[in-house]
A and B are shown apart, each in its own frame.
Chain A
Amino acid sequence: MSEKAAITLTINGKDYAIAVEPRRTLADAIREDCGQTGTHIGCEHGVCGACTVIVDDAPVRSCLMFAVQAAGKKIRTVEGLASGDTLHPMQQAFMDNHGLQCGFCTPGFLMLAVGVLEREPDISDEDLIDVLSSNLCRCTGYQNIIKSVRAAAAEMRK
């Protein structure tokens, strides 16, 4: 058994003082140790994208990072998107365009799309499709996710 390290994760501006083994993935720490269960876990090996969060402005797979590596960094999860009762334009667009069915993949898609659009607001439609190929959805057939993200992109550029 390796020693637990005392670290602080800063998630959506709030500090969580936790003790984790080095092998604890960021995804597990966010959910189990910090209780923020909006971030979902699908495959645990980087393929599905359900666990996507934003770490220091970069959308990343939280199952492929160790929690200890994220100490001191700014972590953003789906819980931090809305401000009060006002949904983030990306969330609103997913609602308006039927961008989800069961919703399991949705937090990952939201953080992926928000993370990329914040970095590259003028990304082309074609490149956006390539970005969205990062994550898996078993329900929607993707068309409404693409529609949602394009609508939100237009809204976010305003």
Chain B
Amino acid sequence: MKPAPFVRHVPRSLDEALKILAEVAGDDGRILAGGQSLVPIMAFRLAKPAHLVDINEVEGLDKIADDGQTLTIGARVRHAAFHKPVTANPLGALLAYVARHIAHYPIRMRGTFCGSLAHADPSSEWCLTAATLDAVMIAKSVKGIREIKAASFFDGIMSTHLKEDELLAEVRLPLLPADAKFGFYEFSRRAGDFAMSASLVTYRLDGGKMTDARVGLGGAEASPRRIAEAEAQLNGKAPGDAAFRAAGEAASAAIEPLEDHQTDAAYRRDLVKVVVRRALEHSLK
């Protein structure tokens, strides 16, 4: 299984990358970032791009910046950059915890945060994170810059609203309130496998009651998203078994489950109940 022939372009600057992308996009030209999803797909010949715009030599794409409001993640920031917290804000600990669940160590040395979002696997941990925290995607092309909110970025399984000549140049994540709590849980059959379902939650406590609850769900539907019905079961309640179970039930009822040859809809609904509850339980640890 060898990839089909392609022409490799190696831009040194972002402007150069955008120019080349504009030229080759119509001829099935694509960005090559970490290659940890694209190269396997090419090896299977599921993709035979005629041109690859390799962004590994582009200056300045590997920056992570915390301006006190937002964490900005550049197009070539690799998963492994998050192994240790990148900010003292609770978001740093959240990203470090989530990162450990992505694939395996050597894959995390190459794969990128933005590449995960562009690839849009329904089970991707970073896609779930972006959806849960309402990230903003910055897409650039020779025509200009577009800001796309996470809620309108994903377009089903392995599909986004990025245009073919657009490069996802950075992703902006809002910092969490200093007292924010988070929890994450995913279920997969083997360590490093894509999750069959995953949940990320955040909330704050006000007088012992949860407020600003976010319940994100990945791997269960075609795209990850926040589940308002589950969040409603948390706000105003004390954290604990009753509220956590109610949120799990609400999420399970709210979804349009993915089905595959191993998992039918009923199984996925059951799994969601457990995954959401365990993510919430993790927030207390």
Q: Taking beta carbons and an 8 Å cutoff, which residues of A are in contact with B?
A: 1-2, 5, 21-23, 25, 28, 44-46, 49, 52, 58-61, 63-66, 68-69, 112, 115-116, 130-131, 133-135
Contact = CB atoms under 8 A, between A and B. Distances in A.
Given A25-B39, A112-B106, 6 more contacts: A44-B43, A45-B40, A59-B109, A130-B105, A133-B190, A133-B192
A61 B107 contact: yes
A56 to B, nearest CB: 10
Contacts of B2: 23, 25, 28, 44
Contact of A65 (B35, B100, B190): B35
A52 B52 CA distance: 24
A133 B6 contact: no
Interface residues on B, range: 20 to 34
B6 A61 contact: no
B105 A2 contact: no
A66 B44 contact: no
A69 B105 contact: no
B40 A46 contact: yes
7 A-B pairs with the lowest CB-CB distances in the bound complex, closest first: A134-B104, A45-B40, A133-B191, A22-B8, A2-B5, A58-B109, A23-B3
Contacts of A5: 8
Given A130-B191, A133-B191, A134-B192, A49 B106 contact: yes
B39 A64 contact: yes
B40 A64 contact: yes
A32 to B, nearest CB: 11
Contacts of A25: 2-3, 39
Nearest to A135: B104
A22 B6 CA distance: 7
Nearest to B39: A64
Nearest to B5: A2
Contact of B105 (A22, A23, A68, A131): A131
Interface in B85-105: 100, 104-105
A69 B56 contact: yes
Interface string B39-50: 110111000000
Contacts of B6: 2, 22-23
B70 interface: no
B134 interface: no
B39 A46 contact: yes
A34 to B, nearest CB: 17
Given A22-B6, A23-B5, A133-B191, A46 B44 contact: no
A43 B197 CA distance: 26
A110 to B, nearest CB: 13
Contacts of A58: 80, 106, 109-110
